[in-house]
Amino acid sequence: MNILYVSDLSGMGGGEVSLLYLMDNISEKNKVELLCRVPGTLVNECNRKSIKTFCYDFKKNLIKSLINFKKIINEEEINVVHSNELTTAILHGIFLCIIGKKNVLNVCTCHGQWYQLSKIKKILIKRYIKHIFCVSCAVENNLNKQGINNTSVSYLGVPAKKFNVDRKNVQELKEELGIKEKDIVVCTIARFQKIKGQLKGIKAIKELHKEYPDINYFLVGGNVFGSEKDLKYLEEVKKYIEQTNDTTSNLKDSNDINVILDKYEQDLKNHSNEVKELKKKITTREDRISDLENRLDFANDTIDMLEDKVDKLQEALNYFKELWNKFIKFLQDKFFSSNKYDDLIVELHEEEIIDDDDLEIIQNEFSSNYAKDDDLER
């Protein structure tokens, strides 16, 4: 099948990471392509994996978006459109109806559904989305309660080989973080957003620590999409951790959380700097390539011009050679006897008016003409 995956976002949040894993796996037996509303890491990763990408803001200028979408569907012979978000799926379901492609299957993955859908949105979902893949039973139950029943649960997968952890490395990491062999380890892996509940997690661990003092709690994540709101939430979490450390000893080793957060932030900064440097290098190389292309074009134009001039010079040279031969013949026939003619030729050669090649040509010409005249006299 030819599948077009559609994503609103290009930062590597959980939904986008799982989408990349899905495309990477599905592409082994199917043709997969990505339509993304904004450029970013997801688009770059797809390009790196040789997955064809299209990038334009399909929620602005709907007429232009419809034209672009129709072109993709027709030229790429798409069989399935798979969106990574409900509203996006509704939009492209409507597009498919407008361009007369109702035979193209329009499906969606729903990563989270915690709010009440409007009546109009429920109608649009039922009419334009063929099937919804829910990432958990909770998501499906919420949709079913609101009358959306074209659903099934499809848990997000990860590539097993990528996460085949070496136990030796795990032990080394535990020692580095001060985790004892019998300690309980709890970890929240998510971007920092209020709905992800990191702050609730810390407060819950604080209570559990009273009964289980050997609990270690780690937060792994960051402000993936560069949101100011999410950044404020991250600062709120860090501030709460600092206050907890200052006011109570119940949250044992909570400094480890700061270590993880600081390390993650530093990694993000380093990664950002590496990307900036890479962009500079790419821009410099592109400029050099463009300059070389311009020089090559100029050189080709110069070669063409020189070849044209050489052709013209050769024509002029041939003309003057012919003229010179006619002049010599004229002198020979009209003004000189053979002896005087020979003397003239020798003198011209000695004065370097004619060169060795010219002398040879003249002598051959004279010998040929003399032989003809001798034959006529006989």
How confident is the model over 181-225, as pLDDT tens digits?
889 999 998 888 888 889 999 999 888 988 888 898 888 887 777
Tokens standing for residue 150: 């074209």
Rounded percentage of the chain residues whose pLDDT exceeds 70: 79
Q: Where are the CATH 3.40.50.2000 domain residues in the chain?
A: 2-153
| Cβ atoms of 344 and 366 closer than 8 Å | no
Burial of 289 (0-12, 13-18, 19+ CB in 10 A): exposed
**Where is pLDDT greater, at 377 or 67?**
67
Given a cut of 80, whether residue 331 has pLDDT beyond it is no
Query: Does 92 score more than 90 pLDDT?
Result: yes
Question: What local confidence, expressed as pLDDT, does residue 134 receive?
Answer: 95
b (16+ CB within 10 A) / e for 20-30: bebbeeebeee
Q: How many residues make up the chain in this entry?
A: 378
Beta bridge partners of 187: 218
* Residue 164 pLDDT class (50, 70, 90 cuts): confident
Average pLDDT over residues 294-309: 76
User: What is the three-class DSSP state of 10?
Assistant: coil
- Looking at residue 340, its pLDDT comes to 62
Tell me the average pLDDT of the chain: 81
Residue 136 per-residue DSSP state: S
Confidence of residue 316 (pLDDT cuts 50, 70, 90): confident
Kindly tell me if the per-residue pLDDT of 154 is higher than 50.
yes
Q: How far apart are the first and last CA of the chain?
A: 96
Q: 222: how many CB neighbours lie within 10 A of its CB?
A: 20
Average pLDDT of span 320-345: 65
Structure tokens at 216: 């270690």
Q: Which residue has the higher pLDDT, 203 or 249?
A: 203
Residue reference for tokens 């989408």:
19
How many CB atoms sit inside 10 A of residue 62's CB? Answer: 13
pLDDT band at 269 (very low <50, low <70, confident <90, very high): low
253: left (phi over 0), alpha (psi -120 to 50) or beta: left
Among 189, 212, 200, which residue's Cα sits nearest to residue 240?
A: 200
Q: How far apart are CA 347 and CA 335, in angstroms?
A: 16
142, pLDDT greater than 90: yes
Q: How far is CA 49 from its chain centroid?
A: 9
Residue in this structure with the two tokens 């480890």, named with its chain if needed: 256
pLDDT of residue 104: 96
Please say whether the dihedral angle defined by the alpha carbons of residues 35, 66, 128 and 76, taken in this order, is positive or negative: negative
Are 132 and 148 in contact, with CB atoms under 8 Å apart? yes
Mean pLDDT over 220-241 rounds to: 84
Decide if domain 2-153 falls under CATH 3.40.50.2000.
Answer: yes
- Bridge-based pairing state of the strands 151-153 and 131-134: parallel
pLDDT at 253: 44
Decide if pLDDT at 254 tops 50.
no
Q: Are 36 and 43 in contact (CB under 8 A)?
A: yes
Which pLDDT value is given to residue 307? 77
Q: Where are the alpha helices (DSSP H) in the chain?
A: 14-26, 41-48, 62-75, 86-98, 119-128, 137-145, 167-177, 198-211, 228-247, 255-334, 338-350, 356-377
pLDDT, residue 4, reads 97
CA 160 to CA 156: how far, in whole Å?
12
